[in-house]
Amino acid sequence: MPKKDIAEFLEEIGGMDVESLVNCVCRHHLSYLGRDYGRTDLFSLYQSLAYTLRDRLVGNWIKTQRSYYNQRAKSVYYLSLEFLTGKSLASNTISLGVEKEVTEVLEKFGVTLDEAEGAEADAGLGNGGLGRLASCFLDSMASLGIPGYGYGIRYEYGIFKQAIENGEQVEAPDDWLHSGNPWEFNRKGFMFTVRLYGREEQYTHEDGSVRHRWADSAKVMAVPVDMLIPGYRNGNVINMRLWEAQPARRFNFDLFNSGDYIRSMEDAVRSQTISKVLYPNDRLSEGRELRLVQQYFFVSATIQDMMRRFMKLKLDFSELPNRAVVQLNETHPAIAIPELMRILIDEHMLNWDVAWRICRRTFAYTNHTVMPEALETWPLDMMRKVLPRHVSIIFEINRRFMEDVKSRFPGDENRLKRMSIVEDSDSPQVRMAWLAVVGSFIVNGVSALHGELIKKSIFQDFVEMYPGRFTSVTNGITPRRWLRQCNQPLSELITEKIGEDWVTDLAQLRKLEPLAEDPEFQDRWYKCKLKEKQRLVEYARSEYGLYLPADWMYDVHVKRIHEYKRQLLNVLHAVTLYCRLKKDPNSVTVPRLKIFAGKAAPGYFIAKRIIRLINSVGAVVNSDSAVNHKLRIAFMPNYRVSQAERIIPATDLSEQISLAGTEASGTGNMKFALNGALTIGTLDGANIEIMEEVGREHMFIFGMDADEVGARRHNGYNPSEIASTDQELAEALHYIGDGTFSEGDRELFRPILDTLFNGGDQYMVLADYRSYVDAQDRVDELWMDCKKWLRSSILNTAGSGHFSSDRAIMDYARNIWGVRPMKMDK
């Protein structure tokens, strides 16, 4: 070992000044890329700049890890099957505090930071809200100094790429690793073996006790690949460890020796498929074996990694919950509960009661949806085949749990049936949410409303059993990416007025309140918005060949396409405006650009047809000169984190129009408000809390609330009746059905109309139509009063402090994890 300290090595790597950075970029060109830096292209420049910055993260990363160990800090294990990181170049540049320097370095090569980041692929290892939340949380943990790790899967293919052909979604693979990922460290030396299949076996231990073990299992290797996540200018760097599946080294050695080389290679390929691709469903539980294998694969490797660190401390097992807390992001990693039981009982020979107490104090579970179709269940037979030992542990957990329920509620057979972890039916299922509730010390919802709703609906029985176990933590978003980085003009204006502390203490945005009515400030606010619109115009033109008007109202609806999110309601408004304009070109006062973006799950027929409808209405509206002076529609293909960063700062009106009681929280809603958009929305998810912070008069709230939705359902809801009593609605529906937007084809959109009239309009689009259109009319009215609009816009930003993921993480740290921000060792 050299006697040198890390600091000395880092000094050799170089400093943060422009000259050192340039030298480092050139050196990476030579020694990593094997290229002449005098003749570089955009991609290799991006790569060597990324390596240059990674060099400057790794020292702090090692220091952070050492501090965790030296201080014996209790650490958070954030387990998530999804992380939607997006791009890292700009974000890491800002966190390192070298924006000016990097801009200058790039200037020397004739490139802007925006252009350099254009060469980076989005890390799209998630579907939507749940995955992006996980990434915002890692940013906040790093920025606050909360000791912790993110754990997930390094999918070779992330969320599919969406193209629009003939108005329809077409999926293509997302080959994001095609040219390599300069941010990651592959740590082959620290891999673990993961077992699958086989059978459970009983044996007599040397102490005479009857024990169980897992026999004849297949093996696959889990290789850790680390992405460094820096905190904002605080010298902390935390780790996101993503597991990659590789064939076990001696995989099928027998076949290999017997000369069946090709078959042994086939098995190797099969093990690599485990980390091949992200499942693109954001709701429907598919029940596919490969998905269960993915879940167990990453959970097993993660728990082994956690136990490796814990064993180094040489403490009693009962100390585990004081050193580690595992946060389960949804039930996707819930198999961790029986896995820890298995390790403690089968491998460390603890008895059941002791092991269970440890488990129960280690896990916490976050629920992200009330919708029953998203509740994960696994066919018992399948689970028994893949994880035979875990199934028998789950049965024992359930047997004991059922005893408890029986003694609490004697004679209540129905309750036992409802609460059983193993659903007893012709094709028995394992209910993962029940397992997660029983095996955790706390369960949280993701907004105040959602936290209450889950107590009254899916978890009601469990609340009666364990009243203290349920709580909520309202989601948040990182102000670094979602304002500081994505909206330069607004960030600079805010910093000029209130200083730069808002970046790590978002509540300070309240200081903008007194400026809301200042005409000079309003004018500058307006100019910032305009700049961001111009930037979006340029982006839409160069990326998608879309020509957007720069000075119109931008009315934006971007998120996954789903019936409950009611993009259809927005389309009905568009068609209503179309009808009004056709009758009288002066009937609409405000020129409005409706922007849509979002992916539909590839197997979700109606969602895909809704995309087709948006594009079809757009095609007619945009080319009709009787209409297109006041209304245009743009569908931006392939919605993703980096696209959101362009759209959100340019938005005037944020559409958050889910049926009340269906959107657990929403986080897009927070990003828009933070960037000064006004929300048109229902009383759903975190919209309610945004309203409490920002003030109802600065939003456009409409429609039924969750209670009214329940009552309406209860009393019998009749969509046809509504359609027949509202003339504008009837007209809009008529045009969708009569071929106006489908070149005379009356069949194309019939399935959509069928969901309303024959499917019972599950998401009550028609019930909220009138109040939505009226709210949109109020939007136009306020828009005409520029000063009032700007005042509300400023107050939206000023009121968004509560929605920082720093606040959310501090809530988790204090109320759930029992951890504190850590001072780093020198």
Name the phi and psi angles at 556, rounded to 5: -120, 130
DSSP 3-state assignment of 682? Answer: coil
Query: What are 716's strand-pairing partners?
Result: none
* Known active-site residue 565: yes
* Residue with Cβ nearer ligand 26W (282 or 563): 282
Instruction: Look up residue 692 and give its two tokens.
Output: 């409490």
* Known active-site residue 559: yes
* Known active-site residue 368: yes
DSSP 3-state assignment of 441? Answer: coil
* Residue with Cβ nearer ligand 26W (129 or 247): 129
Q: How far apart are CA 803 and CA 805, in angstroms?
A: 6
Q: How far apart are CA 768 and CA 757, in angstroms?
A: 15
Q: How far apart are CA 19 and CA 22, in angstroms?
A: 5
Query: What are 151's strand-pairing partners?
Result: 79, 241
Catalytic residue among 52, 366, 667, 679: 667
Which residue, judged by CB position, is nearest to ligand 26W in the bound state?
129
Catalytic residue among 56, 533, 565, 608: 565
Amino acid identity for residue 727 in this structure? Q
* Residue with Cβ nearer ligand 26W (560 or 632): 560
Buried (b) or exposed (e) across 397-432, using 16+ Cβ within 10 A? bbeebeeebeeebeeeeebbeebbbbeeeeebbbbb
DSSP 3-state assignment of 148? Answer: strand
Q: How far apart are CA 609 and CA 745, in angstroms?
A: 14
Are the C-beta atoms of 825 and 66 separated by less than 8 Å? yes
Are the C-beta atoms of 120 and 112 separated by less than 8 Å? no
| Min dist. Cβ of residue 81 to ligand 26W (A) | 8
Instruction: Look up residue 759 and give its two tokens.
Output: 């499917």
* Known active-site residue 455: no
Question: Which residue carries 């024990």 as its tokens?
Answer: 211
| Min dist. Cβ of residue 84 to ligand 26W (A) | 10
Are the C-beta atoms of 485 and 90 separated by less than 8 Å? yes
Are the C-beta atoms of 595 and 655 separated by less than 8 Å? no
Are the C-beta atoms of 457 and 370 separated by less than 8 Å? yes
Residues that bind ligand 26W (CB under 6 A): 127-130, 133, 281-283, 285, 330, 368-369, 374, 376, 446, 475, 663-667, 685
Cβ neighbours of 465 (radius 10 Å): 18
* Residue with Cβ nearer ligand 26W (666 or 676): 666
Are the C-beta atoms of 553 and 783 separated by less than 8 Å? yes
Are the C-beta atoms of 240 and 149 separated by less than 8 Å? yes
Q: What is the DSSP letter of 512?
A: G
C-alpha closest to that of 108 among 220, 31, 19: 19
Would the CA dihedral through 303, 401, 389, 297 be positive or negative?
negative
| Min dist. Cβ of residue 366 to ligand 26W (A) | 7
C-alpha closest to that of 615 among 541, 526, 544, 706: 544
Instruction: Look up residue 486 and give its two tokens.
Output: 């994505």
Would the CA dihedral through 521, 525, 526, 528 be positive or negative?
positive
Catalytic residue among 87, 559, 608, 802: 559
Q: How far apart are CA 663 and CA 683, in angstroms?
A: 10
Q: How far apart are CA 731 and CA 748, in angstroms?
A: 18
Are the C-beta atoms of 647 and 556 separated by less than 8 Å? yes
Catalytic residue among 154, 332, 342, 368: 368
Catalytic residue among 63, 560, 640, 698: 560
| Min dist. Cβ of residue 493 to ligand 26W (A) | 29
Q: How far apart are CA 308 and CA 306, in angstroms?
A: 5
Q: How far apart are CA 387 and CA 38, in angstroms?
A: 56
Question: Which residue carries 């949806």 as its tokens?
Answer: 369
* Residue with Cβ nearer ligand 26W (264 or 472): 472
| Min dist. Cβ of residue 279 to ligand 26W (A) | 7
* Residue with Cβ nearer ligand 26W (692 or 785): 692
Q: How far apart are CA 211 and CA 685, in angstroms?
A: 48
Amino acid identity for residue 747 in this structure? E
| Min dist. Cβ of residue 127 to ligand 26W (A) | 6
* Known active-site residue 377: no
Which run of H or of E encompasses 379?
Answer: strand 377-379
Q: Please state, in angstroms and as integers, the Cα–Cα distance from residue 729 to each residue in 188, 648, 656, 733, 748, following that order.
A: 61, 30, 20, 6, 19
| Min dist. Cβ of residue 640 to ligand 26W (A) | 15
* Residue with Cβ nearer ligand 26W (287 or 760): 287
| Min dist. Cβ of residue 284 to ligand 26W (A) | 6
Q: How far apart are CA 759 and CA 757, in angstroms?
A: 6
Q: How far apart are CA 718 and CA 715, in angstroms?
A: 10
Residues with active-site annotation: 368, 559-560, 565, 667, 671
